């Protein structure tokens, strides 16, 4: 970005007051054109951010303090481990259903792990939908089949 104020002062000191006065309108036009261009760019960036906020696209972010960020390659394993841990603590009358919210709470509260994404519930749901032993039965609810994985459950 051009320093128009500096340019005007340089003209004033080298060519006098009249020259500075004469150049002022063109400098103001340049500044206003740059402002308009910057506004268009910021509006475009804001539009992209609004779009991303309303989609299921995963956007990474810094984890809250006190939590460790999970690396993308580690996430599926950590999520499945947490889901099985939640399942193990379920009463035997619960129907073997694990809630996505409970898995996320297990990761964050019990294990101190942040997935580092904008929509962690969507990530947990996607991983469990693809994981062996888990079947989606309702929104954010998965049934776990212990015969396909670890079946040690708390009594």
pLDDT at residue 118, rounded to an integer: 80
pLDDT in 10s for each residue of the chain, 155 residues: 689 999 999 999 999 999 999 999 999 999 999 999 999 999 998 888 777 766 656 555 555 555 666 667 888 999 999 999 999 988 876 677 899 999 999 998 888 888 878 888 999 999 999 999 999 999 999 999 877 655 444 44
Domain span at 43: 4-53
Has residue 114 been placed in a domain? Answer: yes
Has residue 18 been placed in a domain? Answer: yes
pLDDT at residue 153, rounded to an integer: 44
Q: How many domains does the chain have?
A: 2
The closest of 80, 27, 45, 14 to 88, measured between CA atoms, is 80
pLDDT at residue 69, rounded to an integer: 66
Has residue 63 been placed in a domain? Answer: no
Has residue 153 been placed in a domain? Answer: no
Has residue 22 been placed in a domain? Answer: yes
pLDDT at residue 151, rounded to an integer: 46
CB environment 98-133: b (16+ within 10 A), e (fewer): bbbebbbebbbeebebbbbbbbbeebbbbbbeebeb
| Domain identity same for 106 and 42 | no
Has residue 60 been placed in a domain? Answer: no
| Domain identity same for 75 and 144 | yes
């Amino acid at each position: 970005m051009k320093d128009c104020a500096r340019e005007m002062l340089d003209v004033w000191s080298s060519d006098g007051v009249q020259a500075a006065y004469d150049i002022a309108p063109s400098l103001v036009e340049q500044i206003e054109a740059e402002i308009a261009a910057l506004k268009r760019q910021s509006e475009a960036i804001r539009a992209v951010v609004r779009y991303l906020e309303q989609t299921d696209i995963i956007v990474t972010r810094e984890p809250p303090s006190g939590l460790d960020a999970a690396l993308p390659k580690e996430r599926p394993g950590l999520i499945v481990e947490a889901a099985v841990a939640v399942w193990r603590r379920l009463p035997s009358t619960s129907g073997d259903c694990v809630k996505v919210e409970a898995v996320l709470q297990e990761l964050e509260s019990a294990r101190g792990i942040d997935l580092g994404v904008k929509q962690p519930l969507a990530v947990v749901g996607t991983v469990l939908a693809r994981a062996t032993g888990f079947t989606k039965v309702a929104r954010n609810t998965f049934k776990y089949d212990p015969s396909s994985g670890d079946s040690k459950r708390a009594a």
